[in-house]
Amino acid sequence: MNTTVGATVKWGVLGAARIAEQALIPAIRAAGGHVAALGCRDLQRGQAYAQRNGIPHTMGYLDLVQNADVDAVYIALHNAAHLPWALAALAAGKHVLCEKPLTLNARQVAQLQAAQRIHGRFAMEAFMYRFHPAIEQLHALVRDGAIGQPRVMRGAFAFVLDRPEDVRWDPAMGGGALYDVGCYPLDLMRQLTGEQPDVLAAQASYTDRGVDHALSALLRFGDATAHMDCGFSLPFHQGFEVLGAHGALRVDQPFLNKDRDVVLWHDAHAHRFPPTDAYVRMVSHFQRAIRVEEPLRYPLDDALAQAETLDRVFLAMEPAPTGAM
């Protein structure tokens, strides 16, 4: 396994997904990695995707994770496929960078932790927004007491998902707005406070198949009260703010911001960050961790805490319609 300081990390991409094509494949290359192979269920479609993206080899999922020329696997499959293929990749001696949510619940993260201990490879949940300089500055300001102890947090991430064939509408594939976009503000709330929430209330709207397409939740993280909104059936919106005893911080465009300026407001003062590719920063960090050049910033203990947070919100949500599949 390639762990030499400064060596090129060879990647396998599992799944011919839009996110991989638009964000991760370019990020891997920009970070100095090599995209060695694509794993795809439909080889004909995969070969066209690979040719379009300059990937030299296409193969099935199992062949990809067992390929000797691959050091690390990026998993871009639907949510329900994350656990089995992350386990297979770890068992084959590969490092794993997996799209969020890493798994469907905390119990599944615990399975990955056990596999990681056995096989000695890194696994990390691919929350790219965490690596944006504006978010890092937000953390620093809160940590340094710039607004005092956080008391109130508000976060939202919503858009209109108008593709009925999209896997995010499929309950069997781990669909739903909480998994896809609600996880972002919840993660940031958790990171800023270092606390797990008590869920005071949660209300969801469901499709006739039982997939949550709009959700609001009221939570308490230690001494901070928090409100979160997310959805697939709401106009595009994203934002985050945290209020403390001595001031307020607000981030415009905190989660999806690859080609946009991001403004961090400290009371009335604006810190403006030019367009930054947080995917590149995330991949660069993960590769340095693989090469043992720096510690992994977000190990599976963090992913477990995030999954436990999602589990608590799901438990508090009103049940899906009777008979939903």
Q: How far apart are CA 132 and CA 262, in angstroms?
A: 9
Distances (CA, A) of 139 to 144, 187, 202, 226, 251: 8, 12, 26, 17, 11
Q: Enumerate the domain spans of the chain.
A: 10-126, 129-281+306-316
Q: Domain 10-126 is in which class?
A: alpha beta
Question: 322 pLDDT exceeds 70?
Answer: no
On whether the CB atoms of residues 218 and 153 are closer than 8 A, the answer is: no
CATH number at 129-281+306-316: 3.30.360.10
pLDDT for position 324: 43
Q: How far apart are CA 174 and CA 193, in angstroms?
A: 28
The CB density around residue 207, as the number of other CB atoms within 10 Å, is: 18
Question: 320 pLDDT exceeds 70?
Answer: no
Q: How far apart are CA 176 and CA 221, in angstroms?
A: 24
Question: 40 pLDDT exceeds 70?
Answer: yes
> Given the DSSP bridges, would you call strands 224-231 and 150-160 parallel, antiparallel or unpaired?
parallel
Token pair recorded at residue 87: 């386990």
Question: 46 pLDDT exceeds 80?
Answer: yes
pLDDT for position 323: 45
| pTM (two decimals) | 0.95
- Report the DSSP beta bridge partners of residue 39: 14, 59
**pLDDT tens digit string along 199-233?**
999 999 999 999 999 999 999 999 999 999 999 99
Question: 1 pLDDT exceeds 60?
Answer: no
**pLDDT tens digit string along 254-298?**
999 988 999 999 999 999 999 999 999 999 999 999 999 999 999
Q: What is the mean pLDDT of the chain?
A: 95
**pLDDT tens digit string along 85-106?**
999 999 999 999 999 999 999 9
The yes-or-no answer on residue 94 being catalytic is no
**pLDDT tens digit string along 130-146?**
999 999 999 999 999 99
**DSSP string covering 207-247:** -TTS-EEEEEEEEEETTEEEEEEEESEEEEEEEEEEEETTE
Q: Which of the residue ranges 17-21, 122-126, 307-311 would you say has the lowest mean pLDDT?
A: 17-21
